[in-house]
Amino acid sequence: MGIRFGFVSKRDRQRLAETLFNARTAVRSQRLSPSAQAITQAITPSLFLRRLIKFRAMPLPLTPLRFLERARDVYTNKVGVICREKQFTYGQFAARCGQLASALKGLGIKGGDRVAYLSYNTHHLLEGYYGVVQAGAVVMPLNVRLATAELICIIQHAEPAALLYEAEFAPIVEQIRKHCHNLRFPIGLDSETTGADLSIEALLAQHAPAEIDYTGVNDEDTAELFYTSGSTGSPKGVMLSHRALYQHAFAIATLYVEPSTTIDLHTIPLFHANGWGRPQADALHGVTQIMVRRFDPAAVLQMIEKYRATDMSLVPTMANALVNVPSAEFSNLASMRSVMLGGAASSPVLIERMEKLFKAAEIFAGYGLTETCPVLTSAREKGLRYTNDAERWHRRAMTGWSVPGVVLRVVDSQMRNVPRDSKSVGEVIASCDWLMSGYYKDPVGTAAVITGPNGEQGGVAGQPLWFHTGDMAVWDEEEFVLIVDRKKEIIISGGENISSIEIEKHIFAHPGVLECAVVAAPDSQWGEIPVAIVVRKHGESFGAEDLLLFLGQRLSRFKLPRRVEFSDEALPKTGTGKIRKMVLREPFWLDHEKRVQG
């Protein structure tokens, strides 16, 4: 039997060794010969301690591979994955992951090599979450909606050894290969993929499943590499370790209502922020996972009906698209139990509309970042008493309260907690067991966002690490946090801080608005002014004066948009459906050297 001393003081370890040594000596002295007793007496407590530590049993590594093993062994014959016309039991899914691991090793993929994917949500990409890691490599899902030049930049930076891709991305991969000579293995995920040197199904057919052996895994090693969307600058590669993914999955697993009957609809792209932790937590619970290849609102409603789906995650633009599907109210959506909205700020109006569509479901906002695996909070039920529906909708639209394992704070520039009065604004910082290991090849960038308890860049040995989110928020006595804006997106007009998110929520409440965004534009008198870009619903024709009259009843005068622009086109979005404010903001600043006024 082994004993682990990692959390015992040196003094207590010595006392424990002496106690064990004395007990062992007493037992042996009763049955050993005089000469053997003399040898036993020569073994000192310190020598006994060294030998005890040397031969102690080691704890199992914390790795998501344990979830795959559990799903295979505990839920062998349960349908684990459904992808269009195909479905796999967890036993079959684990076997395919093992074949992928064998195939990659057969190609010469080594520990730590990056294996990239250019794919929508498919069973192949989900298999990569486990099979690539089982091979000792790092899985690297790419945002399929990035421009070719952006993808080339990322691949040149990450230098993956292999790229697995769907047929429709063949022209992009052709361009990538011209610029990224370290890419050794382009592998097609479809039989008809052109330009691929290898086919994934042919490779799998040639290899038996590798054993799920994680005993030699260093759980601090990187398992996943996700590049941020780049909406606030150049994309950064976020390194997520085995340990972080494992710990995060357990926190997410605590949020499941009834795991044994859960059917999870993968509406969030798996190339985004670890798929919000659902691929690991689903496997842990043996949950059936439905792959939504591409988000189409009408098709999603049909899939909920067809598969009796119970859970899904959405960004607010997705949720807004669902509630605006013609005749959506006639769909049978009674199976849906839980919908988490994240990736951008939600509004009470959106929560209300979603509740009216999904009458049996709990609708709530959540919050996190790629750098935190990603989930930190959710506005799930906490047992609070609400005086009316409006109060409940307001709570459910907030950033929420911490999930188990997260220590959350809202602080000023000196790392002091701001008052919990729902008024004082500070930056959200978090400490938990699933912070990123750092930005790939960017120690300076890592040190800028991860600090010690007093703001020491890069952290302090033996002290908790704090991740600085860059999100500005208020909080209350219930630890409910409400994001008011990104640090870089606060509009400073005439010395007043204006939250673009607050204005957007009120614009969205107008019954004729389909979507909107508020950005800062330069102004010679006020420094910056808020500008609203609005897309009207089909058939609506209200103008700027009508909208400002509507907002004037809800916002202080200084917060009202100084300009309103209407767009007949959908607003530009990232691969995960977040509105690209930087793109909308840029035309207003073309004649300025800086992107802030003053």
pLDDT in tens, the chain (598 residues): 333 334 445 555 566 556 555 655 554 455 555 555 555 556 566 665 565 555 566 789 999 999 999 999 999 999 999 999 999 999 999 999 999 999 999 999 999 999 999 999 999 999 999 999 999 999 999 999 888 988 999 999 999 999 999 999 999 999 999 999 999 999 999 987 777 889 999 999 999 999 999 999 999 999 999 998 643 457 899 999 999 999 999 999 999 999 999 999 999 999 999 999 999 999 999 999 999 999 999 999 999 999 999 999 999 999 999 999 999 999 999 999 999 999 888 999 999 999 999 999 999 999 999 999 999 999 999 999 999 999 999 999 999 999 999 999 999 999 999 999 999 999 999 999 999 999 999 999 999 999 999 999 999 989 999 999 999 999 999 999 999 888 878 898 887 789 999 999 999 999 999 999 999 999 888 889 999 999 999 999 999 999 999 999 999 899 999 999 999 999 999 877 889 998 999 999 987 765 555 4
CATH number at residue 225: 3.40.50.12780
Task: Evaluate whether residue 475 is within a structural domain.
Answer: no
Closest to 581 (Cα-Cα) out of 500, 503, 464 = 500
Q: Which two tokens stand for residue 119?
A: 């794919």
Flag whether 154 is in a domain: yes
Task: Please list the alpha-helical segments (H only) found in 30-119.
Answer: 34-42, 45-54, 65-74, 90-107
Q: Say whether both 30 and 172 belong to one domain.
A: no
**In a domain? residue 185:** yes
Same domain, 47 and 169: no
Residue with token string 């220590």: 407
Answer whether 384's CB lies under 8 Å from 359's CB. Answer: no
Nearest to 439 by CA among 239, 256, 263: 239
Residues 142 and 290 in one domain: yes
Angle, in degrees to the nearest 10, between helices 348-357 and 500-508: 40
- Determine if residue 136 is left, alpha or beta; phi over 0 gives left, psi from -120 to 50 gives alpha, anything else beta: left
- Tally the domains of the chain: 3
**Do 544 and 570 belong together in one domain?**
yes
Query: What's 570's domain CATH number?
Result: 3.30.300.30
Domain limit, last residue, from 235, 260, 294: 294
Let me know whether 15 and 141 are in one domain.
Answer: no
DSSP string, 11-27: HHHHHHHHHHHHHHHHH
114 plus 260 within the same structural domain: yes
E strand or H helix at 339, and its extent?
Answer: strand 338-341
Of 23, 39, 54, which closes a domain?
Answer: 54
Same domain, 245 and 223: yes
CB 353 within 8 A of CB 323: yes
Q: Which of 294, 314, 341 is the last residue of a domain?
A: 294
In the chain, the amino acid numbered 425 is: V
- Non-local (6+) Cβ contacts of 307 within 8 A are 82, 263, 265, 290
Angle, CA of 353, 356 and 362, to the nearest 5°: 95
Residues 137, 199, single domain; the answer is yes
In a domain? residue 240: yes
Assigned domain for 120 exists: yes
31 shares its domain with 129: no
CA-CA distance, 376 to 371, in Å (whole number)? Answer: 10
- The length of the chain is 598
pTM score above 0.75: yes
Based on the domain organization, do 155 and 191 belong to the same domain? yes
Tell whether 93 is covered by a domain: yes
The domain of 18 spans 10-54
Provide the edge-to-edge strand list for the sheet that holds 138-141. 198-199, 185-188, 162-165, 114-118, 138-141, 222-227, 237-241, 438-439
CA distances from 542 to 515, 546, 563 (A): 14, 6, 15
22 shares a domain with 66: no
Asked if the structure places residue 221 within a domain, the reply is yes
CA 96 to CA 200: how far, in whole Å?
11
Buried-exposed string 38-52: b where 16+ CB fall within 10 A, e elsewhere: eeeeeeebeebbeeb
Answer yes or no: is 511 within a domain.
yes
